[in-house]
């Protein structure tokens, strides 16, 4: 979600951007999954249960591996088989990828997310030998206990592993190859890696290795790190099955939102559609409201509060502005700001004027929260203006107030769109 917000911000500012969904469809995780499937899986069950069935197998692998370490070695052997073009391994891998993408795309579509390019780690299989040879030719590779690595002690970092002792590749091998391919393909000004904070060290190593290889564009690669979503029960763990699935999270948020709408505005048209927009928007906005490197505490009462510093509050304010303008559809709107002399109107005008600066700052710092907090401040200022002024007053100030209301509507809609959130006209 943070990645989508950044993508929207850069597009809004007129940068040439491309969204690449870089899929982790290779490596030890898949080796573990294939091992688990061959030992305990059933084709029919996995086809019926989809990604849930695959996740169950992944969890079982880790539970079994606690008492049987040989499973880890077996998983690594499947990775080597895939890299060497073993047909059985590749067929199983393609099948698992198809099931996974089928489920992922349902969530992406529901959240209004699309990508120009889907490219997995597997795309670079067969292309990594050139990267390893290049590292060797540039005298950057060192052997240690049979493994090949780049020594980064001079830069106060652990070594960056390139090849395991069995000859298998690692994340760095694939990511070095991918980075070179992306620059050759796109000639990017910046390449952003939107990945959780736990990978800070890894990306520092990766960028340093590319720098040592002599690529000047390595300095334009940025790790946009972010904190984790934390529930009151604690942090999630895929390996132990302690996860909350995105589909379930969205379903529950939409259901809770619909319940609130039934209570507050039971006659609202298209309640189900509005609940979908607000429920999903609430989840996204909650993730975007704090500095991205901080863990985000998930609390239903907080994120679905229509009167708090939340997505539903901003969406409701947008709907309120739309309602006022609908009532005034036949009335003239005068953009004469001189008619707006009270302090509440001035504060709204001040915030509206600062919107372009906040968007630029958010893009420069890779911080979507600067937009979300701006939207809350604007919504609060407009609601104060709304409560202290009779907008449809019939006096000489009415037209100017309507113009201000329309400007707020446009700004809230644009700001929500930058975050990937819908702006309902009724709530």
- The pLDDT mean for the chain works out to 91
At CA 146, angle to CA 144 and CA 148, rounded to 5?
60
Share of the chain above pLDDT 70, in %: 96
> Looking at residues 368-391, what average pLDDT do you find?
96
Write the pLDDT tens digit of every residue in 153-163. Answer: 999 999 999 99
Write the pLDDT tens digit of every residue in 124-142. Answer: 988 999 999 999 999 999 9
pLDDT band (50, 70, 90) for residue 351? very high
Structure-model confidence comparison of residues 395 and 205, the more confident one: 205
Query: Burial, 169: exposed, middle or buried (Cβ in 10 Å; 0-12, 13-18, 19+)?
Result: buried
pLDDT at residue 24 in the model: 75
pLDDT above 70 for 387:
yes
> Looking at residues 313-338, what average pLDDT do you find?
87
pLDDT at residue 408 in the model: 98
Contact criterion met (CB below 8 Å) for 368 and 419: yes
Q: Say which residues have a Cβ less than 8 Å from residue 173's Cβ, sequence separation at least 6.
A: 128, 131, 132, 162, 163
pLDDT at residue 397 in the model: 83
pLDDT at residue 118 in the model: 87
pLDDT above 50 for 322:
yes
> Looking at residues 78-103, what average pLDDT do you find?
89
pLDDT at residue 331 in the model: 80
> How far apart, in whole angstroms, are the C-alpha atoms of residue 71 and residue 78?
11
pLDDT at residue 243 in the model: 64
Structure-model confidence comparison of residues 305 and 396, the more confident one: 305
> Looking at residues 341-347, what average pLDDT do you find?
92
> Looking at residues 264-281, what average pLDDT do you find?
95
Torsion of CA 107, 112, 118, 122, to 10 degrees: -20
> How far apart, in whole angstroms, are the C-alpha atoms of residue 243 and residue 241?
6
pLDDT at residue 332 in the model: 74
pLDDT above 90 for 230:
no
pLDDT band (50, 70, 90) for residue 236? very low
> Looking at residues 338-362, what average pLDDT do you find?
92
> How far apart, in whole angstroms, are the C-alpha atoms of residue 345 and residue 114?
39
> Looking at residues 214-235, what average pLDDT do you find?
86
Write the pLDDT tens digit of every residue in 51-65. Answer: 899 999 999 999 999
pLDDT band (50, 70, 90) for residue 35? very high
> How far apart, in whole angstroms, are the C-alpha atoms of residue 132 and residue 172?
11
> Looking at residues 197-217, what average pLDDT do you find?
97
Phi-psi region of 265 (alpha: psi -120 to 50; beta: other; left: phi over 0): beta
pTM comes to 0.88
What are the distances in angstroms from CA 48 to CA 4, 44, 54, 313?
31, 6, 11, 39
pLDDT above 60 for 235:
no
pLDDT above 70 for 234:
no
Torsion of CA 379, 385, 386, 387, to 10 degrees: 110
Domains of the chain, each with CATH number or no CATH: 2-124+170-231 (3.40.50.620), 246-418 (1.10.730.10)
pLDDT above 90 for 232:
no
Residues 144, 149, 151, 157, CA torsion sign? negative
């Amino acid at each position: 979600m943070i990645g989508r917000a950044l993508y929207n911000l850069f597009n809004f500012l007129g940068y040439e951007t491309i969204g690449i969904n870089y899929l982790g469809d290779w490596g030890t995780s898949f080796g573990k999954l294939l091992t688990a499937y061959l030992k305990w899986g059933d084709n029919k069950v996995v086809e019926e249960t989809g990604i849930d069935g695959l996740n169950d197998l992944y969890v079982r692998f880790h539970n079994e591996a606690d008492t049987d370490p040989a499973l880890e070695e077996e998983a690594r052997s499947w990775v080597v088989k895939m890299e060497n073009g073993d047909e059985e391994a590749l067929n199983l891998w393609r099948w698992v990828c198809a099931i996974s993408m089928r489920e992922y795309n349902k969530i992406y579509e529901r959240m209004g997310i699309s990508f120009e390019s889907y490219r997995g780690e597997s795309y670079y299989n067969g292309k990594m030998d050139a990267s390893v040879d290049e590292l060797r030719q540039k005298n950057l590779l060192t052997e240690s206990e049979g493994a090949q690595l780049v020594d980064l002690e001079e830069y106060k970092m652990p070594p960056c592993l390139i090849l395991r002792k069995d000859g298998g590749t690692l994340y760095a091998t694939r990511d070095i190859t991918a980075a070179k391919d992306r620059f050759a393909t796109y000639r990017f000004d910046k390449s952003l890696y939107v990945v959780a904070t736990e990978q800070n060290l890894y990306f520092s190593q990766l960028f340093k290795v590319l720098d040592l290889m002599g690529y000047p564009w390595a300095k334009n690669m940025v790790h946009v790190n972010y904190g984790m979503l934390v529930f009151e029960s604690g942090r999630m763990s895929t390996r132990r099955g302690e996860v909350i699935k995105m589909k379930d999270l969205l379903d529950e948020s939409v259901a809770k939102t619909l319940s609130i709408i039934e209570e507050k505005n039971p006659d609202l048209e298209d309640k189900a559609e509005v609940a979908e927009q607000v429920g999903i928007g609430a989840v996204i906005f909650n993730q975007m409201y704090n500095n991205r490197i901080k863990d985000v505490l998930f609390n239903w009462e907080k994120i679905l509060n229509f009167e708090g510093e939340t997505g539903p509050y901003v969406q409701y304010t947008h709907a309120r502005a739309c309602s006022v303008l609908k009532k005034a559809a036949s009335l003239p709107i005068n953009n004469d700001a001189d008619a707006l002399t009270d302090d509440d109107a001035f504060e709204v005008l001040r915030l509206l004027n600062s919107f372009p600066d906040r968007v630029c700052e958010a893009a420069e710092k890779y911080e979507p929260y600067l937009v979300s907090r701006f939207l809350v401040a604007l919504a609060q200022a407009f609601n104060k203006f709304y409560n202290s002024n009779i907008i449809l007053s019939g006096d000489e100030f009415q037209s100017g107030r309507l113009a201000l209301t329309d400007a707020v509507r446009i700004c809230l809609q644009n700001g929500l769109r930058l975050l990937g959130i819908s702006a309902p006209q009724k709530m």
